[in-house]
Each structure stands twice: as structure tokens, then as C-alpha cells.
Amino acid sequence: MFNLIIFGPPGAGKGTQSAMLLEKYELVHLSTGDVFRANIKGETELGVLAKSYIDKGELVPDEVTIAMVEDFLKNQEDANGFIFDGFPRTLSQGEALDNIIRSIDSQIDVVLALEVEEDELVKRLLERGKASGRADDQDEATIRNRFAEYNNKTEPLLGYYDQQGKLKRVAGMGQIEEIFDRLCKAVDAVR
């Protein structure tokens, strides 16, 4: 199995690049944001709970998100490996993921951290909000709150993975294709 984490602030291009990576490396995509949004659409209990956080740009509590990931992975026994997109977002989630992945005799192989300037992130999110209708991409105060959550709770994971020797920083500015090439080089170096 080959497992990678695509890491970065909101608007860094995690979803866009995941779609290309999963095809090239034949991996299963787990976007926790997408799973939450599907639950919101389906008006499930999880969806109602998640919406109350997502609409404010806050993180859903760890235990809820971790249980959801465990549930997803349980039904994926034939996978070659996974792309984790939007998870982990806290140190607790990172530690939980290590335990989960160890329990299936596997490991996180690489963490690809997309680096993008904040002005560019805001621009991309507002653009995406127009096209997708995502409420959390349309309101600048919510976007700012998501950055604050990222800086306070998610960014510490960079040190966590750096210490494990798994962190690769990748420039996330420029054309989608050239960013993809940089990511592939980083993957191929460890694969």
C-alpha cells in the first residue's frame, strides 16, 4: 500500500491535485470535506452536526471526524492506498490516523504540503464559491476563520510529519499542471 496526505490551507489545491494524483497512482481519495458535504446534502445526523461547524468555518470535533474516517476505511479492503485530503487537520487526528493505518499493517508514506500565498488563497476560494455555491467559500469572514483554524490547529502537523521525515513542501503557486509535476516528482522520489 502507498498512502499519501495532501496537506495545505483552504484553497491550496488539495482537491484539484488529488483528482489527478489518484488517477496516476491508482489511489482511493478520502476527502473528509466531501464526505461532510455529502452528509449535509443527505440531511443525515452527521450532516446536521457538521453543518453547524462548517458554516462558521470551524473544525468539526475530532472524535466525530476520526470515527467517520475509521468507518470509511473499514469498507476499503481492496485499496492500493489512499490520498488523505483535508484529514488530518489536528494533531489528535494525525495520531489517530497513525493508529488506524498501523492497524491495517500500513503506513503514511509521504505528506505533500502545498504552499500558497494568502492573497492567492482568498482569491481562489471566492472564485470557487461563485462556481460551487459552497457557502463557506462565499463569505470572507468565514474564510478568515478557516485560516485561523488552519494556523492554530492544523499547521502544527507540519512539525509532526517533518520529525518523522515524511514532509515534502511543494510550491502551490502557478499552473495546475506544473504543480502536479512537482507533486509527482515528490511522490516518485519515495515510491
CB within 8 A of 94, min separation 6: which ones?
A: 88, 157, 160, 161
The single residue among 8, 9, 10, 94 that binds ligand C5P, judged by CB under 6 A, is 10
146 as an active site residue: the answer is: yes
Are 139 and 52 contacting, i.e. CB atoms less than 8 angstroms apart? no
The single residue among 13, 33, 47, 172 that binds ligand C5P, judged by CB under 6 A, is 33
Length of the chain in residues, anyone?
Answer: 191
- What gap in Å lies between CA 31 and CA 35, rounded to an integer? 6
37 as an active site residue: the answer is: no
Binding to Mg ion (CB under 5 A): which residues in 22-61? Answer: 33
Write down the catalytic residue from 37, 51, 124, 146.
146
Q: Which one, 14 or 89, has the nearer CB to Mg ion? A: 14
Q: Which does 36 bind (CB under 5 to 8 A by kind): Mg ion, ligand C5P, none?
A: ligand C5P
CB within 8 A of 24, min separation 6: which ones?
A: 184
182 as an active site residue: the answer is: no
DSSP 152: I
Residues involved in catalysis: 14, 89, 128, 134, 146
